[in-house]
Copies of this chain bind each other. A is one copy, B any other.
Amino acid sequence: MKASQFFISTLKEAPADAEVVSHKLMMRAGMIKKLGAGVYNYMPIGLRVIRKVEAIVREEMNRAGAIEVTMPVVQPAELWQETGRFEKMGPELLRIKDRHDRDFVIQPTSEEVVTDIARQELRSYKQLPKNFYQIQTKFRDERRPRFGLMRGREFIMKDAYSFDRDQAAAKASYQVMAQAYRRIFDRFGLTYRAVAADSGAIGGDLSEEFQVIAATGEDAIVYCPSSDYAANIEKAEALAPAGPRPAPAQALTKTPTPGKSTCADVAELLGLPLAQTVKSLVLATDTLNEHGEVAKSQVWLLLLRGDHDMNEVKVGKLPGMEGGFRFATVAEIEDHFGCKPGYLGPLNLQKPVKVVADREVAVLADWVCGANEVDFHLTGVNWGRDLPEPELVADLRNVVAGDASPDGQGVLAIERGIEVGHVFYLGTKYSKAMNATFLGEDGKPAHFEMGCYGIGVTRLPAAAIEQNHDERGIIWPDAIAPFTVVICPIGMDRSAEVKAAAEKLHDELAALGVDVLLDDRGERPGAMFADWELIGVPHRVVLSDRGLKEGQVEYQHRRDTAASKLALADVLSFLKERVAV
């Protein structure tokens, strides 16, 4: 490819609305162009990267036995009504009406449509397993789209759906995908982790996120440097503390803490470690009557150490929380605690509440909590002595760095990641809702066991940039670079020798299957180099009259700090060895 026949359009400055580095660099490199909020044109450079991502995904999905289909972008609402998602999903599901006033949605995913295909096409257990996938435009009407392709509204996703005869077979299909995803992410050339994720009510370990590691990532990833344990923060278990609870050493004391309504303030005032304080989180669950109205509410008191954060996923799994929970209202709090928030605790309640203690709180002695009286806390609080043992002890918190690894192999570390893939065991959630069955070996109809598997095709380049960039621009891994090698001839318009050598090298590399671009635009060297460093082509060869006189060219990898000289005669074999084709 020659630059003069391509379209290169770089910017010195990123537009003001680009907040994160990948968004800025994609705009500056001319990869994308904003059309509206969260809606982008994929410009030639960007589309090349996207196509390479798609090709790798497609190859590995096919290799894993998945079968490509394409489901419509515009989907009739009927199927979405069968599963209830048409009503239940929030406004991120874009609902539209056609000219006949019939309801449609723009697909954000395609569980309903693929399950509809399966219930029509897969009639016997003999046809199973099957895995259908598509690489297709999706739309999610984000309330606040931002960060470019990281959180856009229209995007390209690869979504796959497996159909199996039973749970064992579904787990095998899940593992096939989990392995295929590892091959895919290995091929992208990115540093990533496959982390255990929460699989909702189904339980088990059949949900993994593929996280591209980047300091700017929005997700916290928990891993153990001395084992292969990795999970997202929602999922990672905080083990029960090893030792027993110390014996009480202090007397229960009511202490004035005027204006100190946070654990941190109280700890500071009293000169105690934050880990000695206990925070009180007041939640509520509602029971509905047959008309869907709240019949009665239960108030919960969750106790966590002052230095710990509540984990909503774990809390949502407590017995009694199945129907969801909410934070209690101030009225409910005052009614039960006789005190406003900021000074709450489990002692001296006005009305009974359900108390759940985090595992770490359950082993504390001589702790501090609110006195249920404004401007007062209690110190020297002890379970069994000052209040009954907690009704329920559970893991309620996010792990922190230094916690013991759940696999018993060391301590946990935390880093940031960007989720670009997800494999998930669905069970019979959709097949039951849509009554999608096949005839089993016993001649009886059975519901499909399903899994779903997504990769954010247009999100991946953004994640790759968050991980791989410097102050000059993007640094692509070979596999998804818009071009793998760029040839930069200096003075091509003046020197027939430079022109001939550049074109020869271009043709030879292209013949080897290398994705090479010859920059024949006639830009000055500084501008030319700046463009390619911004765009992030990994391998650069510079040809000049002076160099060629000595039979030499200059080679620089995008990560190198300086160019190195190379004999023109050796450049082909040199690149052949280093460049991924």
A: which residues have CB within 8 A of B?
5-7, 9, 33, 35-36, 39-44, 47, 50, 65, 67-76, 78, 91-92, 94, 96, 98-99, 104, 106, 113, 116-117, 120-121, 130, 132, 137, 139, 141, 143, 153-154
Contacts and interface: CB of A to CB of B under 8 A. Distances in A.
Instruction: Please provide the 6 A-B residue pairs with the shortest distance between their CB atoms, ordered closest to farther.
Output: A36-B76, A91-B99, A42-B70, A96-B96, A39-B72, A99-B141
B98 A69 contact: no
Contacts of A7: 67, 121, 130, 132
Contacts of A153: 74, 98
Contacts of A65: 5
A68 B39 contact: no
A438 to B, nearest CB: 14
A132 B130 CA distance: 38
A120 B33 contact: yes
B40 A72 contact: yes
Contacts of A6: 67
A493 to B, nearest CB: 14
Contacts of A104: 36
Contacts of A75: 35-36, 39
15 contacts: A5-B65, A7-B132, A9-B121, A36-B72, A36-B78, A39-B76, A40-B72, A41-B71, A41-B72, A44-B67, A73-B106, A73-B137, A94-B96, A94-B98, A137-B137
Given A74-B106, A117-B33, A69 B94 contact: no
Contacts of A43: 69, 117
Contact of A68 (B5, B47, B69): B47
A113 B154 contact: no
B74 A139 contact: yes
Given A41-B117, A68-B47, A143 B99 contact: yes
A202 to B, nearest CB: 27
A73 B139 contact: yes
A130 B8 CA distance: 12
Contacts of A141: 98-99
A130 B6 CA distance: 9
Contact of A41 (B5, B70, B92): B70
A47 B33 CA distance: 29
Contacts of A121: 7, 9, 33
Contacts of A70: 41-42, 47, 50
Contact of A44 (B33, B36, B39, B68): B68
B154 A72 contact: yes
Given A35-B71, A41-B70, A44-B69, 6 more contacts: A5-B67, A42-B69, A47-B68, A50-B70, A94-B98, A98-B141
A47 B69 contact: yes
B40 A154 contact: no
A2 to B, nearest CB: 10
Contacts of A98: 94, 141, 153
A238 to B, nearest CB: 37
A417 to B, nearest CB: 27
Contacts of A35: 71-72, 75-76, 113, 116
Nearest to A137: B73
Nearest to A41: B71
Nearest to A112: B35
Contacts of A143: 99
Nearest to A36: B76
Contacts of A68: 44, 47
A96 to B, nearest CB: 4
A13 B19 CA distance: 57
Contacts of A36: 72, 75-76, 78, 104
A50 B44 CA distance: 22
Contacts of A40: 72
A41 B113 contact: yes
Nearest to A78: B36
Contacts of A47: 68-70
A81 to B, nearest CB: 13
Given A35-B113, A42-B69, A143-B99, A74 B154 contact: yes
A39 B75 CA distance: 8
Nearest to A95: B96
A121 B153 CA distance: 24
Contacts of A50: 70
A94 B153 CA distance: 18
A69 B73 CA distance: 19
Contacts of A69: 41-44, 47
A579 B41 CA distance: 39
Contacts of A67: 5-7, 44
Contacts of A132: 7
A96 B132 CA distance: 30
A116 B76 CA distance: 32
Nearest to A458: B70
Contacts of A94: 74, 96, 98-99
Contacts of A33: 117, 120-121
B39 A74 contact: yes
A538 to B, nearest CB: 22
A93 to B, nearest CB: 9
A73 B141 CA distance: 13
A71 B6 CA distance: 17
